[in-house]
Structure 1
Amino acid sequence: MKIKQMKWLAMFLLLSLHGIMSAAVDDDKTGTIRGLVIDANSGEPIEYATIAVYDAQNNVVTGTVTDVKGVFKVSGLNWGVYHLQLSFMGYDAHRVENLSVTNDKPSHNLGTVRLAANTEKLNEVEVVAERKQFEYKIDKKVVNVSGQATAASMTAIEVLENVPSVKVDVEGNVSLRGSGGFTVLIDGKPSILDASDALRQIPASAIDNIEIITNPSVKFEPDGTAGIINVITKKNKLLGVSGQAAVNAGMYGTYGGDALLNYRHKKVNYIFGGDYNRRVFPGENENERRSVVGDQTNYLISKGEGERDMRMWGLRGGVEVDFNPKNSMTLSARMGGRDMIMESPQSFHEFNDAGLDNRYSSLENWHRQGQFYALNGTYVRQFAQKGHQVSTQFNISHRDATEESSNEKTSDGTLLEKRRNLEDGPGDRAELKIDYTLPFSETNKLEAGYQGRWESESDETALENWDLLSGAWVPNAQYGNNTEGEQQIHGLYAMYAGMWRKFGYQAGLRGETTRRTISSNLSAQQFELDRFDLYPTLHLSLQLPWEQQLMGGYSRRIQRTHGWMLEPFITWVNAYYVRQGNADLEPEFIDSYELGYVKQFENAFVSFEAYHRVTHNKVENLQRQWEGDPSGNILMGQPFNVGKDYSTGLELSINLRQLKWWEVNLMGNLYNYEVTGSAGGKDFSNQTFNWGARLNNTFKVARLHQLQFNGQFNSPTATAQGEVHGYYSFDAAYRVDLFKRKLSAVVQARDLFATGKRISTTEGENFYTWSKWGMKAPLVSMTLTYRFNNYMPKRMTNRNGGEDIMNEGGEF
């Protein structure tokens, strides 16, 4: 893997050199357009007026904004014919046609351009309207998240709390339509981190929008039974220097900040960003366990506090080069680190009917840290026909993670026992993608491509016990393990998409080969997997009169088993829980069906989505009493393929804006969940009807002032061995924009009434557990965001001409 990475890195550097040289060669064959924009009545210069440059086919080529003197200059234009549109909020747009940039006339000076004020728009600027909350496409939902003030100082996980189809529980666990098996992409690129770690790594203020792809096409990798969550980060493509910076602070030692800087010069756009955040979540927990050994019932009750302290940092940078209208390249890099600590002092009471009555204290510590990096490169070659292109992309990533968990028992200040578990697990991933698009008309096209993936990971674990006599750690060789795993996946796909009148269709087929090997120092056997699978997809849409749309889709996907789930040995998690993987696990396969309806009203938006999902080879982490503990209080978890599960439901999303000062978003999900199957001769079938609802309110308190109040409600849900209880919670935020919207301040409070508690029960042969966890609430924080130069919010208008002050996108 290391040799392959060096090859990729060499390619990366060669492409970078080629891009710089090509850009330099083309520089002499470019032209410029300049001018001055003023108010037609007062003669005053207009700052931040938008200059959009279109080519002969009316496609946006580039753009800029005017400076404080109203002056603009657009450079780096290739020979050709262009159109300019000059616009600013509250003014009629001005268009300049047929500007020919040639060798004979490379420069144009438009002189003074006078924009006339639009009286109607000026009167309506007091209307604060939102950028369209949801946009439905044939195979995905695009969610604008820039208006979510209640998540301003948090991460992508908190943003997802207000996204359709997504549920986030009180512990930060994310599920997509009830399933935790989904793939996270960042700007369309995979992350080597686990899904939850990848989402925690992204500050909310750095996100532009989120794509929810519950039935992805064959162009995407089929990983993730529930689909794909693609997080699109903010960028700015206007000329010059622009950017934003944000700082935040909250209760219990929470603080952080992030910054983004863009510099675009002619054909090259540079992007730099960085962030550091500390998130502290103190909480309280209670646990009860009943274990039956023979004819004796043992009880173990614990209660205590816990604090989760997460510190994350990240750096990212990239360069986008447009060599000419037919060739472009993007190179980017990310790196970061995470340091998560959890400390939990507990008091225990162990007793039974035979006279056992022990009371003692326990201190559990968990510490996980690691770093990661990722290199990405994309080259796009466009041909003469519009839309005819080939794209090549490579991704290289590495992560390392170390984990230490310890537990010590004391009674009346005397140390009884102490143990710790150590784990070290680095991983590498390389990926190559080639995508080809051949259009047959403006609405019909064929897409095909290849994707290759190479992965390797290792995991070294050790258990050490504290020797009370010598006062030193002593390794326990019985639980020392070293596992190595490698996997290669190669796939080919083809997809055809088209339109016939109002009917749209998209059908594709993907074939993949998977080869995987796992070896352990505890076993001479090498576990191998070699298989070929097909993944068909189908998407349909029908445009109906009066702004209505029907959409339907089908896809087959896979959830691959990986990590500790495949490790065939016992690992201690804490004093009363051990785990063991299962190297014979089969991957989960899913058949997903959807049918959706979308209707746009003048001041409202409604969507319904019915879905049915079947998971084959369902994997459940089943618990049982560990044979190595005679008391029966220590449980062991191990994953098994138990059979199938079924989810059939209906999602509802309503957006109402009947009043200029109040907007309502209502999202609901009703579904029946059933798991059927058995493992080890035991039936694990279960069924439950689930529902969840979210109500988001945005109030315009005054011009440039907004108040948000959100509530979420979740019903109980079944697991293979028990149930997770329902809960509800409320969040609030207040936002004000200052200094011509260059500065934004948001104060937010999460879980206002401290109702977001997680309660769960698990029951198996001879044991029963009940647990409760809740964070201290409410959590109050404040975020300040400053945008400089031309990194201003996109000014988008709604049907009433209202302005979106909540959008911090800035992308041209």
Structure 2
Amino acid sequence: MRTFKAFLLFFSIVFSNLLMAQTATIKGRVADRQSKQPVEYASVALLKSTDSVLISGTVSKANGTFQFDHVASGKYLLKVAFIGYHNQYSAVITVGSGLYNAGTILLSPGQQLLNEVNVSGQAAGSINKIDKQSYKAAQFELAKGGSAVDVLKNLPSVSVNGEGEIRLRGSAGFMVLINGKPVLTDAQTVLSQLPANAVDNIELITAPSAKYDPDGRGGIINIITKKGASDGFTLATNVQGGLPALNDFGNSRKPQRYGADLTLNYRKNKWDISVGGNYNRNDNAGYREGDVYTKNFANNTITRFPSAGERSFKKYNYAGRATINYAADASNTFSAGFFMGKRYQDRIADLLYHNTTSNLATNALIQSNTYYNSNQQTKQGDFSLANFDYTHTFQNKATLTAGMVYEHANLYGDTKNRNLKYPNTTDTIQYVYNPYKRPINGYRFKLDHSLPLGKGKLESGYQLRYDTQDGQFDYSVTPLTGQTDIAKFNGSLHAKNMINSFYTQYSGKASKLEYTGGLRYEYATRTVNISYDSKPHQLDLSNLFPSANLLYSFTEAWKLKAGYSKRINRTTNLELNPIPEREHSETLEQGDPDLLPEFIDLAELGTIHNFKQGSFFATLYYQHIKNPIQRLNSVYADTILNRVYSNAGNARLFGLEAGTNLQPAKWCTLYMGANLYNYKINGNINILGTPTTVNNSNWAYSVNANSSFMLNKTLSLGANVNYLSKRPTAQGEDSQFFVPGTSLKKTLMNGRLAASLLWQNMNIFNANKQRITTQGPNFYTTTNYIYETNVFMINLAFNLNKFTGKLKLPSSELNDKEF
């Protein structure tokens, strides 16, 4: 009831501020002064004639036309800009009501048009704004045929390790948006289902304002997908395929790689309809080498169990999606979206173990055993969702938007763990079967209002988020020998999250200064019920999340920006689940139903420099993390480690990120980004009743570089490098990870058809390997993950008409966070 009353109060405040005004429509056309041909995608700005304050903006269509609706009575100027042309201003326009035709505005080409187009094209590949960085996906040729992760890993403050874990500014916790809509999912999983060919550009929102959800330690990643550029039909399709890697380690199964994606867009009059579908099979072969020991001080023994063997993945996903956008009139627009898809992954780890138990003091051998462990972990899910949005634009340019999303995800899987005699692997020592089901239902309702106020804009909104998950976890052991606690591995869990939030913020510009300031309030409740515990695990949170951003332009070439944002990194249901899962022979993994979310203070200070050959930026940033969530190890039994999610005291992170786009010659472009940071974590914590001290600090860095060389007008050669240094964790460190690649691209049919040969994971400088090491007073474990190298892929892309801008396909609210 209190939520409903607050909603009514908000609604009444919104409408009390709406003003009615006499309005007009301004139409016009943009053309080349010499050829008189229309200029498409020219930027057209509507300015007040008295002080040149920006009122609105648009871009010209394929026929060069543009239009501004609901323009209040007054005097205005039109400013038209397009790369390679001089800016052009119209005469002063006086409008009252009705239709005003501004006629044709002619643009004059610059003296070095072609050169300027090339330079500007590179600059547009990397743009810095007051609260974010924006990157064009098309500049990363090696990502073609892959997923959005393959695009994302090239950005300066982003790193992706061997396991596919994505980090933004050194933090694994961040929020994902697709076309500006929140996706409460694990980034690796949701982005791996989005084809790279469908991505137009990626925004890194490093100091988010109050209108965004405060989720995510490192900030927000917004994926913007492609959309048809002109009226009529627009078609884009891609087909890719590849051979098994040249280095396959002699594994039992060979990886398969092939797929296709298609996007069809139709725009006409009031309708904008998009449909799309994709299928992707992208297996990964690999090898694993592990070395582990545990110390049993009570028995005065040390147990070692090194292992080695195949570790490979079979992965595929497919999906169909559609959106319908309808502009009933200039004031009312409706949109609806639908999505249905499936994702499947199974991982096999067939390892040979050599177990020994020795005297801890003398190292004298007590016993030894060799066995073969065959482990298969399967994860899959069927996903469906629907969303509906309505936007009303008032005569004073105020807008009111209401939106809702419903999602259902049916997640299920199992782990089959077989310990077999060796060398006669037909004899089973023990078989462990660990199936689960985790259906999820999620809802979101949003109401946002925007009102022009003074020289800026006032935005306010309310949001309700609600999701539930029912989990059933089973466990069986055959034979039952030696395990007396089997009951703790069976059970059910029900988790419920509800978040009510209100926000308000004001943004504007005064001379050379742009600014945004806001405040968000959230009341969140979380309830976890477990079958073997009669007492619910309840958490209620009431928090304020302030934010502020400044951007000052000293000149056109030099800018300075600063930002602050209060963030929260919420717990996932996997992290909350205390029912252990036997991940493989030597580990158990479980969560904590009383786990606290992380709270983060995020601040940054940076500079932006634009010059003739490109652009450069550098940003200092700082994060203070309260209740950092870590997956920590402890000893469960002599040959089994327990991996438990826990709040590990406090942590802080500070660093420097930098990036540049250069065009040293007409035929050569270079993009490079780097991130250097120092991470420190410390605290005295309790892991399943065992006191543990965590204290670790070190430097880490990543470098991503991408270059392109035009061999002729239709043939280009590309190369890229992704390097991640060794970096500290709560109980150890992860080694470096290095992935180089090259590509060769040929365009045909005036650019409509493109064929690319991709050489991925080149086998140079110990590439595509990563070692993960953790240790404590009574254990040590190190695992070297060796991934296949020298993978060759072919990608064919065909485009009928152009694609650009946002394709508002529906985005998942929960989908794969628990995948």
For residues 114 and 620 of structure 1, what CA distance do their matches in structure 2 show?
Answer: 60
Which of 733, 739, 742 in structure 1 is aligned with 2:743?
733
Three-state SS of the structure 1 residue aligned to 2:283 is: strand
1:653 and 2:659 correspond: yes
Which of 130, 139, 155 in structure 1 is aligned with 2:131?
139
2:442 aligned residue: 429
Q: What one-letter code is carried by the residue in structure 1 that aligns with 2:513?
A: F
Please give the per-residue CA displacement for 1:140-178, whole angstroms capped at 9, x wherever unaligned: 111111221011111111111111211101221101111
Q: Is the 8 A contact 2:600 2:623 kept in 1?
A: yes
User: Which ranges in structure 2 are unaligned for 5 or more consecutive residues?
Assistant: 1-24, 48-54, 245-255, 359-364, 809-819
For residues 327 and 665 of structure 1, what CA distance do their matches in structure 2 show?
Answer: 42
1:6 aligned residue: none
Q: Is the 8 A contact 2:39 2:60 kept in 1?
A: no
Structure 1 residues 270 and 542: alpha-carbon distance in aligned structure 2, compared to 1, 3 A threshold:
same
Structure 1 residues 78 and 763: alpha-carbon distance in aligned structure 2, compared to 1, 3 A threshold:
closer
Which of 192, 197, 202 in structure 2 is aligned with 1:210?
202
1:356 aligned residue: 367
For residues 282 and 531 of structure 2, what CA distance do their matches in structure 1 show?
Answer: 38
Which of 281, 285, 289 in structure 1 is aligned with 2:288?
285
For residues 39 and 341 of structure 1, what CA distance do their matches in structure 2 show?
Answer: 60
1:264 aligned residue: 267
Please give the per-residue CA displacement for 1:705-744, whole angstroms capped at 9, x wherever unaligned: 2222112322211111111112323111122221111011
1:580 aligned residue: 590
1:555 and 2:558 correspond: no
Which of 223, 231, 234 in structure 2 is aligned with 1:242?
234
1:368 and 2:368 correspond: no
For residues 370 and 348 of structure 2, what CA distance do their matches in structure 1 show?
Answer: 20
Larger deviation: 588-597 or 689-698? Answer: 689-698
1:314 and 2:326 correspond: no
1:452 aligned residue: 464
Structure 1 residues 53 and 565: alpha-carbon distance in aligned structure 2, compared to 1, 3 A threshold:
closer
For residues 433 and 331 of structure 2, what CA distance do their matches in structure 1 show?
Answer: 59
Please show how residues 393-542 of structure 1 align to structure 2 within 5 Å.
393-411=403-421, 412-413=424-425, 414-441=427-454, 443-466=455-478, 477-542=487-552
Structure 1 residues 355 and 739: alpha-carbon distance in aligned structure 2, compared to 1, 3 A threshold:
same
- 1:63 Cα deviation (Å)? 5.9
For residues 510 and 116 of structure 1, what CA distance do their matches in structure 2 show?
Answer: 47
Three-state SS of the structure 2 residue aligned to 1:711 is: strand
**TM-score scaled by length of structure 1:** 0.84
1:13 aligned residue: none
Structure 1 residues 193 and 616: alpha-carbon distance in aligned structure 2, compared to 1, 3 A threshold:
closer
Three-state SS of the structure 2 residue aligned to 1:569 is: coil
For residues 781 and 453 of structure 1, what CA distance do their matches in structure 2 show?
Answer: 42
Which of 277, 281, 284 in structure 2 is aligned with 1:274?
277
Three-state SS of the structure 1 residue aligned to 2:228 is: coil
Please give the per-residue CA displacement for 1:418-469, whole angstroms capped at 9, x wherever unaligned: 111101111111111111112223x322111111101111111111223599
Structure 1 residues 747 and 563: alpha-carbon distance in aligned structure 2, compared to 1, 3 A threshold:
same
Three-state SS of the structure 1 residue aligned to 2:151 is: helix
1:635 aligned residue: 641
1:301 and 2:306 correspond: yes
Please give the per-residue CA displacement for 1:647-699, whole angstroms capped at 9, x wherever unaligned: 11111112221211222222111111110111133210111011222222221
Q: What one-letter code is carried by the residue in structure 1 that aligns with 2:356?
A: F
Structure 1 residues 125 and 580: alpha-carbon distance in aligned structure 2, compared to 1, 3 A threshold:
closer
2:3 aligned residue: none
Q: What one-letter code is carried by the residue in structure 2 that aligns with 1:490?
A: N
For residues 340 and 736 of structure 1, what CA distance do their matches in structure 2 show?
Answer: 33
2:790 aligned residue: 778
1:683 aligned residue: 693
Three-state SS of the structure 1 residue aligned to 2:153 is: helix
Three-state SS of the structure 2 residue aligned to 1:196 is: helix
Structure 1 residues 115 and 583: alpha-carbon distance in aligned structure 2, compared to 1, 3 A threshold:
closer
For residues 610 and 734 of structure 1, what CA distance do their matches in structure 2 show?
Answer: 36
For residues 373 and 661 of structure 1, what CA distance do their matches in structure 2 show?
Answer: 46
**TM-score scaled by length of structure 2:** 0.83
For residues 598 and 115 of structure 1, what CA distance do their matches in structure 2 show?
Answer: 29
Three-state SS of the structure 2 residue aligned to 1:158 is: helix
- 1:88 Cα deviation (Å)? 11
Q: What one-letter code is carried by the residue in structure 2 that aligns with 1:379?
A: Y
- Percent identity between matched residues is 28
- 1:374 Cα deviation (Å)? 2.1
For residues 51 and 652 of structure 1, what CA distance do their matches in structure 2 show?
Answer: 30
Please give the per-residue CA displacement for 1:355-388, whole angstroms capped at 9, x wherever unaligned: 42211212111111111122222211112223x2
Higher relative CO (CA 8 A, sep ≥ 6), structure 1 or 2? 2
Q: What one-letter code is carried by the residue in structure 1 that aligns with 2:660?
A: I
1:179 aligned residue: 171
Please give the per-residue CA displacement for 1:258-311, whole angstroms capped at 9, x wherever unaligned: 111111111111111111101111011100001112321111011011211110
Three-state SS of the structure 2 residue aligned to 1:157 is: helix
For residues 193 and 335 of structure 1, what CA distance do their matches in structure 2 show?
Answer: 16
Q: What one-letter code is carried by the residue in structure 1 that aligns with 2:672?
A: L
1:194 and 2:186 correspond: yes
For residues 694 and 707 of structure 1, what CA distance do their matches in structure 2 show?
Answer: 17
Q: Is the 8 A contact 1:327 1:379 kept in 2?
A: yes
Three-state SS of the structure 2 residue aligned to 1:426 is: strand
2:150 aligned residue: 158
Q: What one-letter code is carried by the residue in structure 1 that aligns with 2:379?
A: R
1:330 and 2:364 correspond: no
Three-state SS of the structure 2 residue aligned to 1:425 is: strand
For residues 555 and 105 of structure 1, what CA distance do their matches in structure 2 show?
Answer: 44
Structure 1 residues 719 and 448: alpha-carbon distance in aligned structure 2, compared to 1, 3 A threshold:
same
- 1:765 Cα deviation (Å)? 2.5
Three-state SS of the structure 1 residue aligned to 2:190 is: helix
- 1:772 Cα deviation (Å)? 0.4
Q: Is the 8 A contact 2:294 2:639 kept in 1?
A: yes
Structure 1 residues 92 and 741: alpha-carbon distance in aligned structure 2, compared to 1, 3 A threshold:
farther
Larger deviation: 507-516 or 576-585? Answer: 576-585
- 1:83 Cα deviation (Å)? 13
Q: Is the 8 A contact 2:130 2:550 kept in 1?
A: yes
2:391 aligned residue: 380
User: Which ranges in structure 1 are unaligned for 5 or more consecutive residues?
Assistant: 1-29, 67-71, 795-806
- 1:256 Cα deviation (Å)? 0.5
1:27 aligned residue: none
